Amino acid sequence: MGAISLKAARRRERLKRALARLALGGLILLILGIVYLFISRAVAIKRLEAELARLARLEKELLQERRALEGLYAKRFDNEYMEYLARKKLGLIAPGEEKYIILGLEEVPQER
């Protein structure tokens, strides 16, 4: 009976070691999984913070552009501004005025 109980004791001891190794492996996998989740969440948070900063800069630029456009829109009924645009952008002149175009030396055709 001593041999059977010795085999059974060894079997139980091997089973305990195997279960301990399995439990340790499971614990290690659990810890690695938790670490992976924390790291992946931290990376996602950093990415979202960078995107938020980019969008905040874009919002600021768009607000500045909107203010500039609102300023131009407010000038649409300003006669002096309309005259300025007509003269500078369209090359128009007022009735009774004469328009002179001065050519630079490089633009004057040379006689042969």
DSSP 76: G
d(CA 89, CA 87): 6
Per-residue pLDDT, 80: 87
Long-range Cβ pairs for the range 59-64 (8 Å, 24+): none
Each residue's pLDDT, cut to its tens digit, for the chain (112 residues) gives 566 788 888 999 999 999 999 999 999 999 999 999 999 999 999 999 999 999 999 999 999 999 999 988 888 888 888 888 888 888 888 888 888 878 876 655 556 5
Per-residue pLDDT, 112: 56
